[in-house]
Every structure is written in C-alpha cells, then in structure tokens.
Structure 1
C-alpha cells in the first residue's frame, strides 16, 4: 500500500467530449491548494471573496488519464451546494484553470486546450515548448521519490513560474495542465499560487481518452493576446 497515494484498480467517471479509440493505462487524481497570501489584498471585501474561493477550491478534484502517447487532464464534476453563490464558484473554477481541458498527443506534437466556460467551447492550439530545468532537489510524495523541475508558461503579457515534482517510478511523461516532457509523471505541480498534488493513482485503468471537439479554434498565443487587448480597452475606458 502506498501511504499518501492510494494505488488500486477501480472505476472512475468522466465526461465524454467526442469519440476516440484511445484508452488510458493510468489515471491520476489530484487535489488542489491555493497559496495566495490574503493579507496582501487591501480591500476587506475582496479578502472575504478570496477566502470563500480558497475554501471551495479545497474540495475540487482533477484527473489525468494517460497512456504512453496521449493524455487528457480536466477537472472532475463537482457537486455544489445551493448556498454557494454562483459567482464565487466561477471565480474558484477560473482561479485553478478548472474551465480548461488539456489534451496532448506526443506522436504528432498536438496539444489542445478546450475552454469550457460560458458560450461555445473554444479550442486553443498550444505550441509553447516546455524548457525544463531539472534541479538537484528531491522529496517524497507518498512512497514515491520525486525530482524537481522548473519552467515558465506565457499567457499573453504574463509569465507564470512553474515548479513540478515528477517520479521516474511511473514512466508516463505527463502532468496537470498539459505539462509534459519530463522522464516521469508529475505528482505535484505549482503554477503561480496554485498547487496540484496527486492523491490517488489507478494503474492498468482502461478509460477512454477523448480528444475535445470545439466550435471555434484559435491559437493559445492569439487567445491571450486578444484577452490582453480586451482588458486594455476596459482600462482605457476609465481614463
């Protein structure tokens, strides 16, 4: 038995987006935690909103379905209490990229981000190369010895620092949010102030890996450039 990470064969439910012949060899479930410093927020009202979203995020779960070539990462379906305001739930989901479904196929260097927010789903083609720097640090996650690697992700004008802990004991080169390219599965990932940590690993699990189909397609870079332009326009309206 793994101590902090349960390894077993069982059944998992996930949403079907389209038909595909790919099946997984492994399913990894992740919990998340926000490390945002609430004390840095000046407004008391904003502090209270962030506190509520952080508490809600503690109940969120994500899953990674993967075989040697293909992976799908997404947020699991959530049961939300009726007394939680919808805007709080939406903020929590966006804060941990829960509206994104990441599909990766290493064989043809395909990476798709499906934005499942309001309106028609948008597929973003992602072509950033992860330039990993593997560091000398090691730590245990459950009974797995993990190694640290760092990189960055660019989202328009923002550059986000990324730290990953991967284990070569499970030789699947995938992880949360489409990150791949390391010699083992990522069991912990920190991007900005959000940490994804593996809580359960299911081996020999045959689940369909479904490539998302979307109505509208756009490049990842173009999408965030458009978001930056929209935000600048909103800011300039107040001048």
Structure 2
C-alpha cells in the first residue's frame, strides 16, 4: 500500500486579518438586526400610541355629539332657552346649552332636561363637562336669556356637577353656524352645524411635565362636523 502524503493535506491556518474581518461582518449583521428590531418596536409603540389617541377622541366626540343632538331650543318671548358658542383664546367655556341627553342629571330632577357647558382648561390640557339639572327652583332656564341659569360665566366652580372629559387635550375649539353665518356670542341664535376641532395627545402623558415639542410629537388633530336636528320647546 502506498503511504499517504500528508504534506498535501494540511489545515488552513486562520490569519488575524481574516478573523478580524469575520468579526466585523458578524458585528455588522448583529447591528443590522438590532436596528430592524428597534425600528419595528418603535412602529409598534407608535401604532399603540395612535390607537390610544383615536380612542380618546372617539369618546370625546361621541359625548359632545349626544349632547348637541339633544339640544332643546325656544325663542318664544319670555320662554327663551339660551345657548352660547364661543372661541376664546386660552381657557374658557367653548359652548353652553340645554339638552335632553340626560347625561349627568341629578337624581332629584323631574326629567332629563339638563344644562351643560364644556370648559377648556388650557394650561392643564383638560376638557371639563359641567352641568346643572336640579329638582328645585335653583335651576330653571325658562326666561333666562343670559346663559346660564346656574352655571358660572367662568371657571369650573359653582356648578351642580362636573366631570373630566379628557386630560390630554392640547387645544379645543368650536365653530357654530346658522346656515353660512358663524355664531359668535349671540345667545338667541341656534346652530344648524357645529364643527369641533380637538388636538389630542397620548393619554399616557396625562398629568406629566412635558415640553411643547414632546406633546406635539404625540399629538393628532381631529375635526368633526355635527349637523343638529333641533328639538323645539
């Protein structure tokens, strides 16, 4: 038998350059995979944040829509039911009116008629729904043309009841129209159309200390048109 020539079958010795090159390629692949993972995670987080914001605006708009769709009006002399739609800068009431929505009616009240106001606290990014529906003579909108019979003209004190609608509203505005005419401070003109504009940010940021830039990165602006079929008194 012919002996095997081992001189022609030797193992390749890995050089330092090849080892460094292989490690560099491995690091590049790992970095690429990590970048993909981080990117996908950001997408998931962003989608979740957006879903939370959309849910917040849906609840906000549904509540306001129910109140507006139940608006009760009367322009009969001596039996007026006043309403008011405003666009102040900063904090203040955006709208006040009487509705039959019945949301938040006092247990002592004789019916579901309720006077509501939406107050925007700009520095704290909070939208309040204040209401008055009592079972005694302290609340009686009939004959009151100055808005409101019981609600205050400013602030969120002195009302019968209140509730926080949202603590993540960066801006909230209302535009009310009678035909093509914008209703500003007229308390005897009832709107056919109300357009809501709300800039809402991630609910997880509620109550925190954030810069304007940080809030705006997590903010979406929504618009909603509400056509009102008014109920006559």
TM (normalized to structure 2)?
0.28
Say which structure is richer in strand. Answer: 1
Structure showing greater relative contact order (alpha-carbon pairs closer than 8 Å, 6 or more residues apart): 1
Normalised by the length of structure 1, the TM-score is: 0.27
